Structure 1
Amino acid sequence: MPNVQEHYHFLHDIPELGFQEFKTSAYIASQLAQAGIPLTQGVNNTTGIVAEIDSGVPGPVLALRADMDALGHVIDGVACARHTCGHDAHSAVVLSAAQQLMQEGAIKKGRLKLLFQPAEELGTGALAMLEGGALADVEMILGFHLRPQEECRLGQATPAVLYSACSTLEATIKGVPAHAARPHQGVNALDAAVQAVQAVNALHLAPGLSWSVKATRFLCDAGVTNSVPDEARVVWDLRSQENAPMATLKQKVTQAIQHSVAALGAHAEVVVLKEMPAADIHEDATALIRAAIVDVLGEEGLLSARTTPGSEDFFFYPVQLPQLKAGFWGLGCDLLPGLHHPDMRFDRRALEQGVHIFKAAVVRMLG
């Protein structure tokens, strides 16, 4: 049976974008089947997989979740998919843990469910799994993520990663075209877009809150250089450590965009492209993970909770199912230079540690 390193290398070499993880899903499904673990493919008509190890003895239902998709990059002018967020590692770790638990007969009570989720980067993969009923009977779910070196080193792990809420807003700004020699006859969408960026940059929330907003894409082209452009598109990335301030921030950003462009005679239509909720972590799940980390890495390897401005669609699970106890931990692996960097790399020895931590958590609850 392949080990976690072999799983990782295979998955790393076949990166696929969200909802297109066909080869990835096929490989994971074949490995689960070879281990004798019953599974369902194509959850909610996606590439998602749900597998289950049933002890045959009444008990709790615990789920482990791994994401499968890669990131889209443009490298040397070529669009490509690349695993720069570690989802290949996440799938390899959960797959290996499941195979070993099955082989060892470690599940003595209840059931262990395994979720291999598509499209985390799109922010819609968890919602697709929820709509497919993947967690209908689950009491607790555990997820994890590789952590950057500045947060967590090799041989360390944090039992709770407190992710932020994230929203992606796009404004389509409409002006009036005109010849560049007669700009007074038109409304310059480029000028209006620049005004909108400055207006958003001038926003403020309460100083005690943790939040940010910044423009991340600006597209405007009349097709020629001697015409006033009549359309521009700008994308903003919004972050908030809590969900309530995010609602306020979205409202303020939308108003700032619409009012600032209106002052120049333009119009803006603002839509939400993607959003993810802030972390919703249950103390029971965190306590289980904390104990598992100590089992594997000792007290010296256990870190405190870590707060991050990053976002994770995992938290749609507890938000949509309030009775669900969710836990999300971070694995140190000396990851450099950073998540989502085209040259992201990490110490592969951490993969075995991840497998053992998940196994320890499962045995504590279902062993």
Structure 2
Amino acid sequence: MLKVLEHYAFLHEIPELGFEEFKTSAYLGQQLKAAGFQVTENVNGTTGIVALLDSGVPGPTLALRADMDALGHIIDGEACARHTCGHDAHSSVVLTAAQELKAENAVKRGRLKLIFQPAEELGTGALAMVAGGAVEDVDMLLGFHLRPAEECAVGTAIPAMYYSACVTFEATIGGQTAHAARPHLGINALDAAVSAVQAVNAVHMAPGKSWSAKATRFLCDAGVTNSVPDTARVVFDLRAAENEDMTQLQSRVERAITQSAAAYGATAKIAVLKAMPAAEIDAEMTALVAEAIKEVLGEAALMPVRSTPGSEDFFHYPVQRPAIKAGFWGLGTGLTPGLHHPDMRFDLDALPVGVKIFKACVIKILG
């Protein structure tokens, strides 16, 4: 089990942004080949890796997925990559579980597949792996995520994490420039954009639904202070617990933006920057993970199923390939002060627990 800490120590020191995980991918590929897996690198022209262990005996194909990318931060005025979402831990846990399963000859039937995925933070890594055929033959798929301390304590785990849908888009508001002394000759894009933000704040969904819509970036500069600006760009972040609700929410928000801009005589062009679906989790997989958690940690360590307003591109897999039975669980790690915080840290002693839970799941299906 100390191997997981060695992997983590190495990966933590080489953080790389989405689709740029060259060192990370090379390390994982080398380790998997040395362990005896059939390894396919550069899936769909990306840094993604698929590794396969075929027992030679008929049975299902179970895949374990780990993300590899780090986050971009600006720290002390300098842009840098840093692992502040635990993807280095995810890769270390799945890699170690795979190595131990192979060494112990634990896969007795079917096939074990490993998917090391790039660019989760960009929201497009899973789609790239799907397009590259990574899950075409997969019957069941498992993923996991480190959990913050307030959600899940060290020594406990959550059998299913229901993530929300997330859509991020940029609205470009187009007006017409004019001298500030003669504003009637122009169309003030800044005014129109402010109105659009207020219109989005006035959008309502049913009170019983879980959703949010808010502006998260506003850029507008005519270059001088005595000119009416003709362009403004506003980024909006939308969240919804259900995919159907997101469809409705996105439609209402886009309508609010375009109509409020039109009231000023301005135009609005909307471009989706990132879209991730809400969780699609199979009940059988949740039950499987629950049994594995109890087996490894005891019944008292099994936490209730939990929902989160966060998003995860893992769920592109079951949405794009509905036949796949997907499960996604949460590991208690004492993580503070929070995911994506530049000083994020957690209890490394939790990582061997993650290895054991994944191994227990695999053995229940393929052992």
The normalised TM-score by structure 1 is 0.98
**Residue 9 (structure 2) pairs with residue 44 (structure 1):** no
Distance 1:344 1:223 in 2: 38
State the AA in 1 paired with 2:60: P
Offset at 1:339? 0.8
CA RMSD for the aligned pairs? 1.1
Partners of 1:313 and 1:183 in 2: how far apart? 45
Listed as ranges, the matches of 1:177-216 within 5 Å are: 177-216=177-216
Aligned to 1:338: 338
For 1:1-367, what aligned pairs fall within 5 Å after superposition?
3-367=3-367
Quote the offset at 1:226 in angstroms: 1.8
Aligned residue identity for 1:291: E
Q: Letter of the aligned partner of 2:11 in structure 1? A: L
Whole-Å separation in 2 of the counterparts to 1:76 and 1:133? 41
Structure 2 unaligned blocks of 5 or more: none
Q: Matched residues in 2 for 1:198 and 1:316: separation?
A: 32
Q: What secondary structure sits across from 1:326 in the alignment?
A: strand
Compute the displacement of 1:121 (Å): 0.8
- Structure 1 Cα separation of the partners of residues 82 and 221 of structure 2: 29
Q: CA deviation at 1:76?
A: 2.0
2:167 partner SS: strand
Residue aligned with 2:134, SS: coil
| Higher mean displacement: 262-271 or 160-169 | 262-271
Structure 1: 5+ residue stretches without partners: none
Count residues with an aligned counterpart: 367
How far 1:90 moved relative to its partner? Answer: 0.3
> Shift in Å at residue 2 of structure 1?
7.2
Report the Cα offset of residue 34 of structure 1. 1.4
Deviates more, 1:2-11 or 1:94-103: 2-11
SS in 2 for 1:203: coil
SS of the counterpart of 2:347? Answer: coil
What is the alpha-carbon distance in structure 1 between the residues aligned to residue 182 and residue 337 of structure 2?
A: 49
Q: Secondary structure, in 3 states, of the residue corresponding to 1:3?
A: helix
- Per the TM alignment, residue 13 of structure 1 is displaced from its structure 2 partner at its CA by 0.9
Q: Where do 4+ consecutive residues of structure 1 move more than 6 Å?
A: none
**How big is the shift at 1:259?**
1.0
Q: Which moved more, 1:178-187 or 1:234-243?
A: 178-187
Distance 1:231 1:78 in 2: 28
Q: Which amino acid aligns with 1:361?
A: C
CA deviation after TM superposition for structure 1 residue 190, in Å: 1.1
SS in 2 for 1:97: helix
SS state at 2:73 partner: strand
Q: Counterpart of 1:27 in 2: which secondary structure?
A: helix
For 1:23-59, what per-residue CA distance to the aligned partner results, in whole angstroms no more than 9, with x for missing partners?
A: 1100100111111211000111110000011112111
Distance, in Å, in 2 between the alignment partners of 1:59 and 1:103 is 20
Instruction: For residue 74 of structure 2, give the secondary structure of its aligned residue in structure 1.
Output: strand
Q: Deviations over 1:236-286 (max 9, x none)?
A: 000000011111111110111111111112111112111111100001111
TM, length-normalised to structure 2: 0.98
Letter in 2 for 1:187: I
Q: Which piece of structure 1 moves more, 172-181 or 302-311? A: 172-181
Deviation at 1:181, TM superposition (A): 2.1
Secondary structure of 1:349 counterpart:
helix
- SS of 2:348's equivalent? coil
Q: After TM superposition, give the deviation of residue 127 of structure 1 in Å.
A: 0.8
> 268-277 or 178-187: which moved more?
178-187
